[in-house]
Each structure stands twice: as C-alpha cells, then as structure tokens.
Amino acid sequence: MAAVGGSPYHRAMDIRTLHDCLADLDRDLLQRDAAVRVLLLGALAGEHVLLIGPPGTAKSELARRLQRVFAGARYFERLLTRFSVPEELFGPLSLRALEDDRYERLTDGFLPTAQVAFLDEVFKANSAILNALLTLLNEREFDNGSGRVAVPLISVVGATNEVPDDEALQAFYDRFALRVPVEPVDDAHFAALLQLPAELPQPRARLEAQALEGLRTRAAALPLPQAVLEHLVQARALCAAQQITVSDRRWRKLAALLQVQAASRLAADEADASVSPWDLWVLPFVLAARPAQVPVLRDWFLAEIGQAMPADVQWLGRAAEAFEQQLEIEQSAPANPGDDSAGKLALARAIAGPGAPDAEQGLVRIVSDLARKRYSALHVAARVAQVHEARDRAALALQAVQAAGEAATAQARAHPWLPPTWRGRIDAVHRDNAQRLATLLARLQAAGDAFAALPVDASLAAEIPTPVAVPA
C-alpha cells in the first residue's frame, strides 16, 4: 500500500492490520470486545483509559495485550497502595546528581520512559504521586529536578474497583478520557470461561508507535458532518435529562476520538472518509461519569444510530385481536331462524351410526357445522376485504422493518470499530421486530381465511356488515 501524504502511519497500518489488532486483543477473552476497542482507540488517539471493575476481570491482561500490539513499546506496570512512594513509579534518586546538589531521578525502566503503562488501583496512591501523575498524563511531561522532560507515553491504562467519591480525586479521575466498566463473565459464558486455555495467546506487534502522530494529524483535519453534529446535540440533551455532567473538554475529546476512527478508515482504503454516526459507539465511555450511566448512553446509540428499538406494532396487534374477536362472534352465532337443528342432529346420527369410528367426534363436528349461522356472500366478502386491507398494511410495515433492519445490520457489520456484541444486539432487535410483524401478519391471514370459510346462504339478503373497529 502506498503512503498517503508521506505519513509513516499509512505504511504501518491498513484495514487488515486494524482487524488483526482487534482480533489479537480480543482473542480468548470473553465479553471484552468493547473494552479492547476502547483501549486501542484510546491509544491511537493518545488518550488514557480507566477500567472499572472488581478484581479478576482481566484488567491487567487487557493492558499487557495493548502494549504488545505496538512494536518495541516499553511497558510499565505497578499496583498502587497508600504506602506507595514516588520512587516506585518515577525511579530512584540519582546519587551522583545529589553530589552536585541536583535533585534528579534515574527514570530508565520506570513510568517516565514507558510508552504503555498499567496502574492498578490508581486512586489509592497518595497525593504526592497523584500530583506528579497529573502533569505526566495531561502534558506528557515529567518534572525531573529543575527541568521538565517530555515522555514517550502513548497511553496509560488505569484500573480501579470503584469510582472515587473524594472530590480531591476528581481532577485525576477526569484525566482518563475513556472509562470502561468491566464486569465478571455472565452465566451464559461461564462454561466457556472454565474451558479457556491456561496460556492465553500473545498479540503480535503490528503497529509502530512513532507512526501515531501521522494518524492524529490527519484526523484533526477531518470535519464533523452535520448529521453527526445533530446526533451530538441530541446526546447532550440526553445527558442533561439524565443529570450527567459533561465538561466542554470531554466533548472536545469525544470529537477527536470520532475523527481518529474516521482517519483509521481513510488510512485503510485510501478513499475519502468522514466521521460517521456509527463512530458514536464510543460516546458512552467518554460521557458517562459512573458505570451505571453507560447502559443508558449505549441504548441511546443502539436506538438512534442502529435503529434498534421495538417496532410500534400495537395498532396491528389490536387490529388482529379485533378481527379475531369478531370472527369468534360470527362463528359461534346460533343458526338462522327456521333452521331445523333437531332434524339435522337426527340426520347426523343416522349418517354416523352407532358403530362408526370416532362417531361422537364426527357427530359433534357435523352438528356444530349444521347449527352454524349462515351469512350472505356479500357479508363474507366485506369481512375478508377488510382483513386483507389490514393484512396489506402489515405486509408493507414488515417490508419496511426488514429493509431498515437489513440496512442497519449491514452498516453495523461494515464498521470495524463497533463491538460485535453491539452488532448482535442490533441484529436481535431487528429480527425480533420482523418476527413480531410476521406473527401478526399470519394472524391476520388466518382470520381472513376463517372469514372466507364462514357458511354462506345464497338466499339471504345481500347486506354489507358494519366494519370491524380497528385502529387507524
């Protein structure tokens, strides 16, 4: 693949590489498809990611996998406690520098020289460490002695069991642009969890760390289309309604993450690219201040972008019910005046005979048929015509739902960043909508067939019955 604009990024990554990276990160991990995509996207955008969940949910494994995706990336990992000291993260003091009255640290092999880092229980660190981390995370710089040096940091992955309530920690909490709840494997995947290999596969180094700058530069030049801006306005209104406070800075970071996704697709196919509404899948992990808010924003995305919402078929259900109730009335109506029901019963008994097989059932069926009310041909035709009108409306609705479902699922499957489980939810909703409509359509068809089978008496006066009251 040829380079675009001379950027080394375009020599380092194409769409196959992106798919391979995501597959490597997700391989043999259960229910972590959203987390691995947030991690990789955050790294490409130069943002930090916070994993929120109980111990034993593969948080450290996710961070280690992220580091292995970048060729030659230096990795740093620490578990922080309230007893942790700065030397554990930033390196020991240089004795030689102290002899020269300089307060400097030997940072090689510690956080200031790492490109990918994992800080477990990050909010348990003391204020001295957190204050130093603030500058390092936000400015990509480290104060070492009297000077401030640039650090090669791509992304820091933090982990915590719970969101901090201490107001003093909110500034540090806000430094993580992306915050991902990580829950234990659910019951449906428990058996698969127990059968995972003891040694999980190691991702292959597929990306060059120095190539990221080209991606970010290209991403910053991509505009946000009007459709995306409108969706963001709706998302802001939703956040206000849900009392989710979102700073201007986080909205800006969200926009940058959308642009990085578009730039990654531009790099992949060397074609014009723009931010897509489907890129908004990352929105819940940027805007939600608490894990409980993520599902609310995720469901908004699935409904607004994926059109994954239950179809409004109440009118059709009420129509089917109305026709079925009217059918029951007309099928169970007593025979027309003047019918000789007793003579018909005697005739049925004579036909069946005492020794005939299933005689009782046969008699019941015959008597029931003979005792049924007869209708004019016009009556039957009018009932069938009304049912078929509703059936045709249902068929059109089914076609529209199927077309919308096919379009949404095709777009979802074509988007490389969208988590597969989210695609599955979109598919499931559209399939359910189509199935509900198909079921109601079948009920209407059955009602029409049953009206058509009503017994007809040609001698009856041709009268059009009062139409069945159905929803507009």
Mean pLDDT of the chain: 87
Half-sphere exposure at residue 51, Cβ-oriented, CA atoms within 13 angstroms: 31
Q: At 371, is the pLDDT very low, low, confident or very high (cuts 50, 70, 90)?
A: low
At which residue do the structure tokens 């946000």 appear?
A: 224
Per mean pLDDT, which of 290-299, 364-373, 458-467 is the most reliable? 290-299
Residue 93 has pLDDT above 90, yes or no: no
What was the pLDDT predicted at 350?
Answer: 58
Residue 126 has pLDDT above 50, yes or no: yes
pLDDT of 6: 41
pLDDT reported for residue 94: 86
Distance of alpha carbon 199 from the chain centroid: 30
pLDDT at 272 over 60: yes
Between 324 and 213, residue with greater pLDDT: 324
- Among 183-197, 299-313, 350-364, the minimum mean pLDDT is found in 350-364
In this prediction, residue 357 carries a pLDDT of 56
Q: How confident is the model at residue 144 (pLDDT cuts 50, 70, 90)?
A: confident
Least confident span in 120-134, 208-222, 436-450:
208-222
| Segment 376-395 mean pLDDT | 93
**CA-CA distance, 230 to 228, in Å (whole number)?**
5
In this prediction, residue 100 carries a pLDDT of 78
pLDDT above 70 (res 369): no
Segment 298-312 shows an average pLDDT of 93
Task: Answer yes or no: is pLDDT of 263 > 70.
Answer: yes
Amino acid at 250: R
Between 99-108, 152-161, 251-260, 428-437, the lowest mean confidence (pLDDT) is in 99-108
Report the C-alpha gap between 232 and 238 in whole angstroms: 10
pLDDT over threshold 60, residue 9: no
Instruction: Please tell me the distance from the alpha carbon of residue 331 to that of residue 372, in angstroms, as a whole number.
Output: 7
- Strand-strand pairing, 147-150 and 141-144: antiparallel
Averaged pLDDT, 436-460: 93
Mean pLDDT confidence for 261-287 = 84
Mean pLDDT of 144-149: 86
- Cα–Cα distances (Å) from 118 to 75, 140, 185, in that order, read 8, 16, 22
Mean pLDDT on 262-269: 72
Count CB neighbours of 145 within 10 A: 13
CA distances (Å), origin 390, targets 107, 234, 324, 380, 436: 75, 35, 13, 16, 15
Q: Which residue has the higher pLDDT, 205 or 324?
A: 324
**Confidence at residue 166, expressed as pLDDT on a 0 to 100 scale:** 84
pLDDT tens figures, 386-420: 999 999 988 998 999 999 999 999 999 999 999 99
Beta carbons within 8 Å of 226's beta carbon, 6+ residues apart: none
At 244 the pLDDT is: 95
Q: Is the pLDDT of residue 211 over 90?
A: no
At 35-60, the pLDDT tens digits run 999 999 999 999 999 999 999 999 99
Look at residue 209 in the predicted model and tell me its pLDDT: 73
Roughly how many angstroms between the first and final C-alpha of the chain, as a whole number?
A: 58
For 31-35, 117-121, 345-349, 375-379, which range has the lowest pLDDT when averaged over its residues?
Answer: 345-349
Residue 370's pLDDT is what? 58
Question: Which of 369, 367, 363, 372 is CA-nearest to residue 329?
Answer: 372
